[in-house]
A and B are shown apart, each in its own frame.
Chain A
Amino acid sequence: MALVDEELLERAPDDRRLPRVTPHRTGEIVRHLRSPKTLWCPGCSNGIVTRALVDAVLALELDPDRTCVVAGIGCAGRITAYLNWSTVHTAHGRALAVATGAKAADPGLHVIVIMGDGDCVAIGGNHLIHAARRNIDVTALVFNNSIYGMTGGQMSPTTFEGDRSTTTVYGNVEQAFDICELARAAGATYVARGTPYSYNRLAQLIAGGINHKGFSFVEAMVSCPTYYGRQNGIPKASDMMKRQHERSVPVEKFDLQGPRLHDRYPVGVLHHAEREEYTTAYAGVVARAQERSGG
């Protein structure tokens, strides 16, 4: 049996408001990888999101030479060693800070930032809210597996209340972040959430984010059967993916007043607004400064 059912991928429905993403054949995807081998565990869905990202970039026909991926530390951050574009594997939590500098120095770059949940909303939380506030034109793609996988399964800021991890063996007593809500409140102008189960939709949501001029934020709900699943009674990767699918509700049908996150969360484009983008605004600063100095 083939690892990926290529025909099923091609038949999947798409969202007409988002850029059209026709899934590419595996042979085409692999051309954009330094190595098809990864250190991600069997059953981890990071690889699916990586493929969706490559599909999105190919669908948008971005110049690979002008596309760069900046990531932090953790399982998700390892994507930098696999993608064959210019990639920066920064310090833990600092991806958005580094991406901000790269984009500001060269506004023509397509900058895609990959973070895990710990990377993005624990150690890097401050950078997230300020990147969103600035509305700088980078796309943040978060691989949210609700756990620290690389260090062996500790509680993260997106571990649901009551769930178990190696540092919450009696059940997590902290409330989980809804990171899409956080990004929206901080000023992100495109906010979306998707699951690997709905592959095409996820690729479209990513493409929509990359196409958006401004700070775009895409949360991919990924599953970690090794550390999250085993500790919480769902050790099978397919069960975890199915559960994510069952819990996800298209945003159009989602009752915003109802229970959040743990049992049900909205998926799709959750927020979209137009606001002047940071590097465009700064080009105005340069123009005004040069006009005043007569140069």
Chain B
Amino acid sequence: MPQPRRLVEGNEAVAEGAIAAGARFFAGYPITPSTEIAEVLSRRLPQVGGHFIQMEDEIASIGAVIGASLAGAKALTATSGPGFSLMQESIGYASMAQVPCVIVDVMRGGPSTGLPTDPSQGDVMQARWGTHGEHSIIALVPSTVAECFDLTVEAFNLAESYRTPVILLSDATVGHMREAVALPTADEIRVAARGEPAVPPEDYDEVVSTVDNIMPRPALGSRYSVHVTGLVYDRSRGGVPATGAPSVAEGLGRYLREKIYHHRDAICRVEELEMEDAEVAIFAYGSVARSAKAAMKWARRQGAKVGLVRPITLWPFPTEAVEHMAEQVRTIIVPEMNLKQMSWEVQAAVAGRAKVVDHGRIDGKLIRPEEIQELIRTEFYYHRFKETS
């Protein structure tokens, strides 16, 4: 039976999405504007036999999440900017040691304590490069309450499939917004199971995952003897440290990158609206995409051919979709609640084939549709002026 439509807050939808995805462990530390996720899960997890723990800080929270995941539980934490900064150390560990887990970052104004209750998109580059060293990462950006649920489920599925930390980049607007939604029931969603390696324990050390066959790691306390480390390790020798072997380090580093980049087509999701005949595109994500959509509709009513390209997957960056857009439109407008962080990435993919107009805001206020409308108006006015002069 479908669930009834009701008013649900974005953060609550993340918590319910986690339960639906099979998450049975949460460790976190209170921080605005993510706290509701912890509060909801502190009530919900024990109901389903799971475990909620409030740790001493965010460093411990991500540590406990990694420990729980290694013990076989699907695990998540939720935080905001200052806590996300503290978690970077162990996000790198999870990336290196290939520990599936989900980190929800409900973005607020920064740097530092910044604007605790106001939205921002200032962490998009930190999500990509926040931890030190060469690594790959997956980050998803919801822009509706329904998507908070769906993308949390998706985040767990990706984490399990690619044995990697996955970041859900929400923000104070999306997290605290309430929308009427009917949350999906268990039979309406796909959930990836952890599974066990398809080899007996005695052969486990000998079998090496490939980008096309990523083997799950057996849980601590199973019949398999596993060694997990943040040092460079030899994948063909049970993961023993191999810091003196340059070729092993190179091979591991490239594997960790390729196991995600090789599957970019499957991972990257982009929503395109009114792009069939668009001359101008808006590239917007998260809460700003809501304003962008309103501005696009306004432009269409004026007869201006404007479309919207909304990345749902921010990392790996949907380069192909942006290249395709660059071939088609003359101008791409990139509004975001930071100063050019994704705009640079768009420009790199566009490579001069179209004009990129950025619009940044860092005052803790959501970018309004009128601001984007003004950019569209200016663009079309300028274009007509160029054509007639």
A residues near B (Cβ < 8 Å) are: 34, 64-66, 68, 70, 73, 80-81, 84-91, 94, 97-106, 108-109, 126-127, 130, 282, 285-286, 288-290, 293, 295
Contact = CB atoms under 8 A, between A and B. Distances in A.
B220 A86 contact: yes
B90 A91 contact: yes
B89 interface: yes
15 contacts: A68-B221, A86-B227, A87-B227, A90-B93, A94-B59, A98-B67, A104-B51, A104-B64, A105-B71, A105-B72, A106-B220, A106-B221, A109-B71, A127-B56, A295-B47
A126 B59 CA distance: 10
B51 A97 contact: no
A130 B69 CA distance: 21
B339 interface: no
Given A106-B220, A130-B60, 5 more contacts: A34-B238, A94-B93, A105-B24, A106-B71, A109-B221
A104 B47 contact: no
A110 to B, nearest CB: 8
Interface stretch (B228-236, B255-263, B273-281): B228-236
Contacts of B75: 101, 105
Given A88-B70, A99-B67, A104 B46 contact: no
A289 B43 contact: yes
B47 A101 contact: no
Contacts of A94: 59-60, 63, 89-90, 93
Interface string B86-117: 00011001000000000000000000000000
Nearest to B57: A126
Contacts of B47: 289-290, 293, 295
Given A81-B240, A282-B51, A65 B223 contact: yes
Given A89-B227, A91-B93, A97-B59, A102 B67 contact: yes
B25 A89 contact: no
Contact of A102 (B59, B68, B238): B68
* Most chain A beta-carbon contacts within 10 A, residue among B61, B66, B224, B227: B227
B51 A98 contact: no
Contacts of A100: 27, 53, 55, 60, 63-64, 67
Nearest to A71: B229
A88 B46 contact: no
Nearest to A127: B60
B227 A81 contact: yes
Nearest to A109: B221
A34 B56 CA distance: 34
Given A90-B63, A289-B47, A101 B27 contact: yes
Contacts of B56: 126-127, 130
B57 A102 contact: no
A144 B228 CA distance: 24
Contacts of A127: 56, 60, 63
B253 interface: no
* Most chain B beta-carbon contacts within 10 A, residue among A89, A98, A103: A98
Contacts of B220: 68, 86, 88, 102, 106, 109
B65 interface: yes
B299 interface: no
Interface in B198-239: 219-231, 238
A105 B51 contact: yes
A106 B73 CA distance: 8
A79 to B, nearest CB: 11
A109 B70 CA distance: 12
B49 interface: yes
A106 to B, nearest CB: 4
Contacts of B24: 105
A85 B228 CA distance: 11
B64 A98 contact: yes
A293 B19 CA distance: 15
A289 B65 CA distance: 22
A101 B229 contact: no
Contacts of A80: 227, 229
Would you list the 7 A-B pairs with minimal beta carbon distance, nearest first? A101-B67, A97-B63, A101-B64, A289-B46, A98-B67, A105-B68, A102-B67
B197 interface: no
A288 B52 CA distance: 14
Contacts of B70: 88, 98, 101-102
B241 interface: yes
A262 to B, nearest CB: 30
Contacts of A288: 46
Contacts of B59: 94, 97
Contacts of B46: 282, 285-286, 288-290
Contacts of B93: 90-91, 94
A84 B53 CA distance: 30
Contacts of A293: 47
Contacts of A64: 225
B68 to A, nearest CB: 4
A105 B89 contact: no
A89 B225 CA distance: 14
Nearest to A110: B221
B73 A91 contact: no
A53 to B, nearest CB: 16
A91 B230 contact: yes
Contact of A105 (B25, B43, B63, B222): B25
B25 A101 contact: yes
Contact of A86 (B60, B65, B90, B225): B225
